[in-house]
Amino acid sequence: FPRVTHQRIDVDVRRTKRALRGRTTLTCAGADGAFAGARVRAEGLKIASCAINGVECRATKTKTSKPTIGTKTAPSDALSLAKDVRTYLESESNLDGEEHSREVVIAPVSGEKIEARARGAANGESTSATTEKEIVIEIEYETDESAMGIAADESYFLCPGASRRPACWFPCVERGDVLTTFDFSVSAPRDLQVITSAHWDRVERCDDIDEDEDGFRLRHHFTGMYPTFAHEMRLICGRFKAVSSPIKGVTLFAPKDGDYAERLEIAAAGVSKAIVAYEEYLGHPYPISCLNIVFMPDEYVGARDSLGACMNIHSAKWLIDPTLNTALLDARVHIATAIARQWFGGVVVPADTTDCWVVEGLAQYLAGAYVKKLTGLNELSFRRMRDMRLTAQMDDGESLPPLASRAARIWRAGQYAGPDLAAGGTPKPLSASVERGLQAKAVTIIYMLEKRLGPDVMQKVLKYFAGLHVRRNKKEGGTRAGPSAEVLSSNARWIHTLQLFDHCRATVNLGKGEVNSFLERWVYGAGTPKLCVGYVVKRRKNVMEFAVKLEGSVAAAAADRAALAVARNHRTSVTVRMREENRPDANDHVVSLGHSAWQLMEIPLQPKIKDRRPKTIIESGGDPELIAAMDCPVRYVRVDPEFEWMGNIEQSAKQVGLESMMAQMLEKEKDIVAQTIAVEFLGRRVANGSVSAVLVLDKCLNSEDTFCRVRAEAALALGKSASEKTQWGGLNALIRHYKKFQCDANTGKPKQNDFRDLAKVIVDEAVITALGYVMDNGITHQDALEAIVTRLKYNDNEGNPQSDDGFVATCIAALGRCVPADGKQLQTVMQTIHYYIRRDDRFPSDDLCVTCAGIRALGLLASTIDSKELRADAEHVAKLGFALGRQSTVLASADTMMYLRFVETKSEIEALKYMLERSAQESAATKAAMLWSACEYLQSVAGADSLKGVSKPILADLRDLVLKGGSEIASAAFSILATLASQDESLSEIRESIAEAIRRAGDQVPVGVDVHAAHAAPTAEDEVKRAEKEAKRARKRERERLRQAARAEVDLKNAEQRRIDAEAAFVEQQAEHVQDDKTTVSERTATMMGSEGDATPQGGTPVGGLKRARDQNPSVTQFAVEPAAPVATEDAAPAKKLKLSFKIKKPTT
């Protein structure tokens, strides 16, 4: 493939024909010598004519080995299906080194070879001053009938389409190791606005010959802002409303037929604040001077954002009504994160597929700067803790692949990168849950680096990588980035995993072994550890006995062994932070870890005067927990406070004494993470029947000084752990809070809504959600159900400046989790849900969120309650959701019908069959979302017997979706097929064939022991090499020892000489101090010096002054010799006084 440096694309959009016709010019870097032709990629395109350097050429497609399967062709057996899928995977992964059925060979018609010409010769420029050569390829083309690269209807025209491949809408060279500048010229009907991945320059009227059935046409010209990849190109034509952001060059687009004017203004303000926050944090101007943020209906975008060069494509659901304060916060953070991904991911790109996690982690870490500026440090800490929790929960060694593997495709929704053979082609997206888990792990790794480096050093690291590509201009150093002259097309834009860690190591002088062990354990390895801890205070010994054991999956143990193999000083200890009663601050202790046995350590405590008053038992009432709390000198203990292990820390909820410590930590500690950990532990204590834990959580829930997220966690803990063991203390606490903050004190009914305080709304929604979790023997407690129904029945939003759509949807979702005790309660719940669905028809909520919540709630109720009337009602409401036509309502209805099919047939396979049939009627984006929903549902019921015995028609449908469905649909269908094969022994051929194809493609690094297998036994040759290396190290150590001894000897001699010189200088200084003349008054003796004839006074100084007294003193004359008087001259300078300044260095031994 040629190395393309510049490509111009001139296209004509044929909206009514759903077709594209164009001409592209590829300028490639030339080399010496002649060549027979060039290869480009074009799928579903008809090449009309082509030429190289002006020489007429012929375009020939390569051989086709991709399986061609007829639609609905049932496989003869499982083996034939497995072969089809395996062939497809091998073709997609380009195992044979060439792309089948997508490559086009362009060669001269005459068969002669072509020479590269001087750069600029085609434009008539002078070529005498340049030695650079170039190859210019010109291609005229149009799309064929399939048009996989186009998604078009009466409203919009988008490229790329379902295939997500650039070669499906313009001929190109799909390479991940070459950056190319793209320019556009688009001819489209005048009523359509054109948006591309470039900067708009001008518009002009097309010739009359270009007019067609679409009517009057305009040609828009665009200039590429910076070199990028072909898969980053986007083209959108439609009717939009545009709003410019306060930041120059940033424009937001929304559908013109919707009421999005005010929402666009709000979003534009948030975008400008995010960019300013990034510029302040990194100290660099935002590198993209032209950024188009396009909001489109869900059926064109789907659940994933489509990010390209200079363009972010979001679903219109992220244009939130400003009256929805809770949803507005999430939307702003979501859009800001996408903007950060344009910096790390668009400008700074991964060097290989195994480096995709680096740009994703840095982008999310950068987005944290905006979160901190928008909401404060507490919200940022809570979001970080949520990411760490999700990582520790999902990374069990099997669910998530290692970060540095080809399977961790979290860049640009499953795109490969760098020199990877599949780079630049069709992306292979991961499921939403796996992608979210990998994203959380990527940013968690960056958090762990921040703990080791410090926030300031981590900021310097991001500044370094964010500015590598910027060419500094001294005159414009303080301004925003100009056009693409600021961005280089050099290797400075690629970032490696090792490059990141090497720079971190050099910045803070980390050890090489520490960095290598960190990489092996957390980046190259899989699985998070589990720390089982326990501790007790021994008053007689005045120590705290701490016990810890390291456990985890097989993959986690293998990663630990790999980390130990590369560094002897691998961190095998955990930090324990302990706060004693009489200490002003906490102190840290290091406890060693072990894999096979408990590790014990005694931590000494501060001595304390013993309280001999015998009233402990009387004051506590005999409660062991209170006895331990009153006699414990330790306030609380935190295990791994700096998150060095990123694992699950398990502490027994039955151990006496821990509850009081957690209560102290919740009350005294100001760290949000520590408070959340304490709330989680106290919730488990409530489940075990602790009444005192209920009181602590109740106090936390009602404390307005506590962060709102912690209060919400306390409410959820009370709801999930409420039981009869605590005399329904958790339920009573929730009811008291509900009546105090949401009900009128006089009437007892819910008062008018006031959602201006975001923190209060978060807590109130958490209380309602927690009430839905209160169960009494599998039935929702009557008081909890009555509170939720009453809250919805008397909901009054009159006079509230904020919308109640989000709050009502939360209440309805809580009703969906309830299990009514009898038919009367069920009828009340159904009437309440139907009332709000009808209200949503008259006064539509934002994105019909209330209707979606009602549909899902009825589906959940029908799946847990055996009632034909309820199932018929849920099915009727689901049909209403399909009729509404929105993607949100369609997905809610599809999930509801999937649950109903399972309840009726008791078979997950039948539920899957319904999803396959229904998804065939929807658009590509909605179809992919439905298939991913079915995949996650099947994975949640893995191990069920009903997953066995898949029929051949279902397998054929999945096979056809894998082969012909496009990028997102094929990935979802393949995941479903792999899930079914892993559960059914009769599909062993499919399972083995899929595993072999994945292994050969390098698409999945084996997780478990094979990730870091034990090293093989060393051979004799290895032993000889090891001995030579050891001897070389010994000789090097001996030479170093001799050099140190020689340096020590020289230092000793120099120190002795300095001592002698210092003593001599001291004596000389003392001699000059006592030298004086006859008229000197001695301040020490306060004696007046007389003339030489005066007698010596009694007990005084002899006549003649101190000089004569000094001369007569033998102890002075033997050290001080009177110097000769210098000869006085007119130009002689005054004698310089000697100042004593010396420092005796202690000799080294």
pLDDT in tens, 1077-1087: 444 444 443 43
Does the structure show a pLDDT above 90 at 943?
no
Residue at token pair 């692949």: 401
> Taking the CA of residue 26 as centre, how many other CA atoms within 13 Å lie in the half-sphere pointing to its CB?
26
Element (H, E) at 58: strand 55-61
Percent of the chain with pLDDT over 70: 80
Residue pair 148/964 in contact (Cβ under 8 Å)? The answer is no
The pLDDT tens digits of the residues spanning 1018-1029 come to: 567 767 776 777
pLDDT confidence of residue 120 = 67
pLDDT confidence of residue 761 = 94
- Helical residues (DSSP H) of 984-1128, grouped into ranges: 988-1001, 1020-1074, 1105-1111, 1114-1117
pLDDT confidence of residue 1109 = 44
Distance CA 565, CA 333 (A): 41
Rounded to whole angstroms, what are the CA distances from 335 to 147, 213, 252, 794? 31, 38, 11, 35
Distance CA 660, CA 685 (A): 11
Distance CA 534, CA 135 (A): 71
Least reliable range by pLDDT among 212-226, 250-264, 273-287: 212-226
- Burial of 1018 by CB count in 10 Å (0-12 exposed, 13-18 middle, 19+ buried)? exposed
pLDDT confidence of residue 333 = 95
pLDDT confidence of residue 629 = 54
pLDDT confidence of residue 1014 = 33
For the four alpha carbons of 657, 658, 659 and 660, in that order, the dihedral sign comes to positive
The pLDDT tens digits of the residues spanning 22-39 come to: 999 999 887 777 788 888
- Burial of 554 by CB count in 10 Å (0-12 exposed, 13-18 middle, 19+ buried)? middle
Distance CA 857, CA 835 (A): 13
Residue 51 Rama label (left phi>0; alpha psi -120 to 50; beta):
beta
CA angle 23, 27, 33 (to 5 degrees): 130
pLDDT confidence of residue 965 = 79
Q: How far out from the chain centre does Cα 498 lie? A: 18
Mean pLDDT of the region 175-183: 89
The pLDDT tens digits of the residues spanning 626-652 come to: 545 556 788 888 888 888 788 888 888
pLDDT confidence of residue 1036 = 78
The pLDDT tens digits of the residues spanning 184-239 come to: 999 998 889 999 999 999 998 887 555 666 667 889 999 998 899 999 999 999 99
Task: Assign 481 a pLDDT band (cuts: 50, 70, 90).
Answer: very low
The pLDDT tens digits of the residues spanning 491-548 come to: 568 899 988 998 888 888 777 888 888 898 899 988 888 888 888 888 788 888 888 8
Does the structure show a pLDDT above 50 at 1124?
no
- Burial of 333 by CB count in 10 Å (0-12 exposed, 13-18 middle, 19+ buried)? buried
Phi, psi of 767 (to 5 degrees): -65, -45
Nearest of 304, 314, 563 to residue 409 by alpha carbon:
304
Residues whose CB falls within 8 Å of the CB of residue 1043, separated by 6 or more in sequence, listed in order? none
pLDDT confidence of residue 210 = 58
Task: Assign 1117 a pLDDT band (cuts: 50, 70, 90).
Answer: very low
Distance CA 118, CA 129 (A): 10
The pLDDT tens digits of the residues spanning 894-907 come to: 999 999 999 998 88
pLDDT confidence of residue 196 = 94
pLDDT confidence of residue 1081 = 42
pLDDT confidence of residue 552 = 83
Residues whose CB falls within 8 Å of the CB of residue 569, separated by 6 or more in sequence, listed in order? 511, 513, 514, 517
DSSP conformation letters of 255-293: ETTSS-HHHHHHHHHHHHHHHHHHHHHHSS--S-S-EEE
* Tokens read off for 1139: 């100042």
Does the structure show a pLDDT above 90 at 1055?
no
Does the structure show a pLDDT above 80 at 860?
yes
pLDDT confidence of residue 991 = 67
A 10 A CB-CB count for 111 gives 9
Does the structure show a pLDDT above 60 at 771?
yes
The pLDDT tens digits of the residues spanning 586-632 come to: 888 888 876 667 888 888 887 766 555 544 333 334 455 554 555 67
DSSP conformation letters of 693-747: HHHHHHHHHH-TTS-HHHHHHHHHHHHHH--GGGTTHHHHHHHHHHHHHHB-TTT
Phi, psi of 1090 (to 5 degrees): -100, -160
Phi, psi of 137 (to 5 degrees): -110, 125
Task: Assign 1123 a pLDDT band (cuts: 50, 70, 90).
Answer: very low
Strand ranges in 124-170 using DSSP code E only, listed in sequence order: 133-143, 151-152, 157-159
Q: How far out from the chain centre does Cα 353 lie? A: 16
Does the structure show a pLDDT above 60 at 1116?
no
pLDDT confidence of residue 1049 = 87
Residue pair 344/362 in contact (Cβ under 8 Å)? The answer is yes
Helix, strand, coil share (%) of the chain residues, nearest 5: 45, 15, 35
A 10 A CB-CB count for 596 gives 7
pLDDT confidence of residue 1134 = 52
pLDDT confidence of residue 479 = 43
Distance CA 577, CA 898 (A): 49
Phi, psi of 500 (to 5 degrees): -60, -50
CA angle 1085, 1087, 1093 (to 5 degrees): 140
Does the structure show a pLDDT above 80 at 82?
no
* Tokens read off for 729: 């203390």
Residue pair 228/309 in contact (Cβ under 8 Å)? The answer is yes
Task: Assign 473 a pLDDT band (cuts: 50, 70, 90).
Answer: very low
Fill in the DSSP letter of residue 653: T
Task: Assign 264 a pLDDT band (cuts: 50, 70, 90).
Answer: very high
Strand duo 291-296 + 250-255: pairing: parallel
* Tokens read off for 689: 């029947």
pLDDT confidence of residue 1105 = 41
Does the structure show a pLDDT above 60 at 835?
yes
Average pLDDT, the chain: 81
Does the structure show a pLDDT above 80 at 702?
yes
pLDDT confidence of residue 229 = 92
DSSP conformation letters of 959-1016: HHHHHHS-HHHHHHHHHHHHHHHHH-GGGHHHHHHHHHHHHHHT-SPPPSGGGGPPPP
The pLDDT tens digits of the residues spanning 972-1000 come to: 888 888 888 878 777 766 666 666 655 55
Residues whose CB falls within 8 Å of the CB of residue 241, separated by 6 or more in sequence, listed in order? 253, 254, 255, 256, 260, 261, 264
Distance CA 670, CA 638 (A): 13
Residues whose CB falls within 8 Å of the CB of residue 768, separated by 6 or more in sequence, listed in order? 738, 788, 791, 807, 810, 811, 814
Instruction: Of 57-61, 327-331, 944-948, 1121-1125, give the range with the top mean pLDDT.
Output: 327-331
pLDDT confidence of residue 79 = 55
pLDDT confidence of residue 253 = 95
Is the peptide bond preceding residue 160 cis, with omega within 30 degrees of 0? Answer: yes
pLDDT confidence of residue 995 = 65
Does the structure show a pLDDT above 50 at 475?
no
pLDDT confidence of residue 595 = 61
Fill in the DSSP letter of residue 519: I
DSSP conformation letters of 207-264: PGGG-BTTBSEEEEEEE-SS-B-GGG--EEEE-EEEEE-SSTTEEEEEETTSS-HHHH
Distance CA 1145, CA 1052 (A): 9
Task: Assign 1066 a pLDDT band (cuts: 50, 70, 90).
Answer: confident
Mean pLDDT of the region 136-157: 86
- The answer to whether the pTM exceeds 0.85 is no
Task: Assign 485 a pLDDT band (cuts: 50, 70, 90).
Answer: very low
pLDDT confidence of residue 855 = 95
> Taking the CA of residue 170 as centre, how many other CA atoms within 13 Å lie in the half-sphere pointing to its CB?
27
pLDDT confidence of residue 487 = 47
Mean pLDDT of the region 64-93: 53
Does the structure show a pLDDT above 60 at 1095?
no
